[in-house]
Amino acid sequence: MLTTFLRRLFREVTSRLPWRSLVEQPAAIGAPSITVSAEVTSLTPTAGPRTIVELAELSLTYAPNDAWAERLAAAYELQSTHATESTSPDAIALLQPLAEGPDAVIRQMPAAAREALAICDDTTLSRRELSRRLERDPALMQGLLRTANSVAIGGGRAAVVGQDAVLDRIGVAGARGVVLANCVDGLLSHPGGEFTRLANETWAHMIRSAPIARAAAPAFAADADEAFTVALLHDVGKLVVFDRLSVLRAKRRRAVTLTPDFVHQLLQVLHEPLGSLGALQWGMGDRAATAIGTHHRVAASRGRHPLAEAIFFAERADHAARRHEPFDVDLAWSEGKLTGTVNRASSALQSLPTAA
């Protein structure tokens, strides 16, 4: 059953635009143009080093269910006051299942997917045995090779051709992150039309952010492999909304009629708590859920959280590169109230491999 599931899942997922574009995309993140003040070396651009006690006082606390209730109320306010969607049947129908609670809209991970992830979580397996297990399924091997050799992760380096080389490049935890991301992608339906393009762009952004987050993680005292995995799914809440659009489209038996402006605003309002609750449901743990739920570092979620800060930094870097703009590290540091080592994060960006 596991082999059949993985074969089907990776055949479907690796053929989709986000994963295929990793190889074909010419403008992926490498070593972006950055601006940073050379003299900045402390935990923040404007403050000296803080003590352990002070950092503990700044530690971030996050309650995803409370955040969800707050953001859902904001979503209804957005819909009711929107110029074109205040009376839209599709907008009302989209929000209705969300009001039933996150469990009503976040899909459960199938047993076979959980079994696939358990292979990577089995600490009794040696690296060699893990490689052999992964190599038993050609489709799984193909998916991992595609990711390891992608522009975003391979960055123009020589192609890897075996599972041992894949693990050398992306690590055991990185391999688990790729399997997890593929499992989540297999769960969620694409909404069709213009919304599918937006969903693909969301996947592409998360995939590009992952190697940046891993490289920058030590600057925030975050675990590099965990940062890689969480960055791969940090905007997954948007995909949950797209999934609900696909369900609505199937029920209506027609395209969903919503303005791009409204959908964009709705995604911004809902995706952090939805992604956080999804992370908990899919077994990613509290730390990952908090990072996903607070990665935008808005005023209410700017306490110290190394993983969330690494994701914020990676996301800002990718957005700048996508727009072909210099990345102002100092500005990102200030706006995100980051508490790591700015020069170390900047050096990590510059060390990333570039596309050939």
Q: Of 3 and 200, which is predicted with more confidence?
A: 200
Closest CA to 277 of 24, 51, 67, 121: 67
Single-letter code of the amino acid located at 339:
T
pLDDT at 1 over 50: no
Query: What average pLDDT does the segment 238-258 reach?
Result: 92
Q: Is 305 left (phi over 0), alpha (psi -120 to 50) or beta?
A: beta
Read off the amino acid at residue 344.
R
Residue 174 has a pLDDT of 81
The whole-number pLDDT of residue 227 equals 95
Rounded CA-CA distance 239/206 in Å is 11
| β-sheet bridge partners, residue 327 | 34
Find the mean pLDDT for residues 139-160.
75
Would the pLDDT of 235 be above 80? yes
* Residue 309 structure tokens: 């800060």
Q: What is the pLDDT of residue 179?
A: 80
In the Cβ-directed half-sphere of 53, how many Cα atoms lie within 13 Å? 0
Three-state secondary-structure class, residue 150:
coil
Query: Where is pLDDT greater, at 119 or 222?
Result: 222
Residue 125, classed as helix, strand or coil, is coil
Q: What angle do CA 172, 116, 22 make, to 5 degrees?
A: 60
Alpha-carbon gap, residue 120 to 131, rounded angstroms:
10
Amino acid 124: pLDDT: 86
pLDDT grade for 263, boundaries at 50, 70 and 90: very high
Q: How far apart are CA 199 and CA 211, in angstroms?
A: 20
Full-model pTM = 0.79
Amino acid symbol at 328: D
207 close to 307: Cβ distance less than 8 angstroms? no
Q: Which residues contact 282 (CB under 8 A, 6 or more apart)?
A: 109, 180, 184
Mean pLDDT of 327-340: 93
Q: Alpha helices of the chain — where are they, by DSSP H? A: 2-13, 17-24, 52-58, 64-81, 89-99, 111-121, 127-135, 138-148, 151-154, 163-187, 193-216, 224-232, 236-252, 260-281, 286-293, 306-322, 329-335, 342-351
